[in-house]
Amino acid sequence: MDIKRPLIALTSLLFAHVANGAQNAACLTPDADFSKTSPIALRAIATSCENPDIERLFYNRAYASDLQADYHTYLKLIPYRRIDSQDQVNFNAYRMFLGLAEAFSTQVNGTEGDRIAWLNRAYEQANELAELRMKGYDRIADRRVREMQSDESNL
């Protein structure tokens, strides 16, 4: 079975909802698994969401997916990179954190709005750190981690 066909069908379905001006059904189920959804499709979902927090969540997911693709490109550009480099460790930690944040977001006490806000903060912080590290600003990223840990009660 070719996996591209269902993804193409899903993407065209998502764009059809946006073209009709209706809110996408995915906006009503933000807890579903969107890990295999392309950044283009995630942005299409985001543009159709009426709730600004859910819209921001889909944009954050799309940006995280873009950062992961950029990181894989970055790895290919470095010909003699060690397998166990600190960059690889940081990237794996980034991916694991986002996966755990998605998995455990349903355990956040409070309303759905609280859960979406918590997940948005998790994405925004992780994306900020990943972007800084990809640009080579490891010391700034380390400082941001310390700042975030001192304000850990918010996440």
* Domain assignment of residue 17, given as a range: 4-154
Q: List C-alpha distances in Å: 105 to 35, 41, 77, 155.
A: 15, 22, 35, 11
- Phi-psi bin for 130: left (phi > 0), alpha (psi -120 to 50), beta? alpha
Burial of residue 83, with CB atoms counted within 10 A of its CB: 0-12 exposed, 13-18 middle, 19 or more buried: exposed
pLDDT, mean of each 10-residue run, the chain (155 residues): 49 49 80 86 92 93 91 72 67 88 83 90 92 87 88 59
pLDDT at 64: 93
Q: How many CA atoms lie within 13 A of 33 on its CB side?
A: 5
> How long a stretch of residues is the chain?
155
Domain count for the chain: 1
User: Which two three-digit tokens encode residue 64?
Assistant: 């995280």
Within 8 A by CB and 6+ apart from 26, the residues are: 14, 32, 34, 45, 58
pLDDT score recorded for residue 1: 44
The answer for residues whose C-beta is within 8 angstroms of residue 136's C-beta and 6 or more apart is: none
Three-state DSSP at 4 gives: helix
72, 81 Cβ separation under 8 angstroms: no
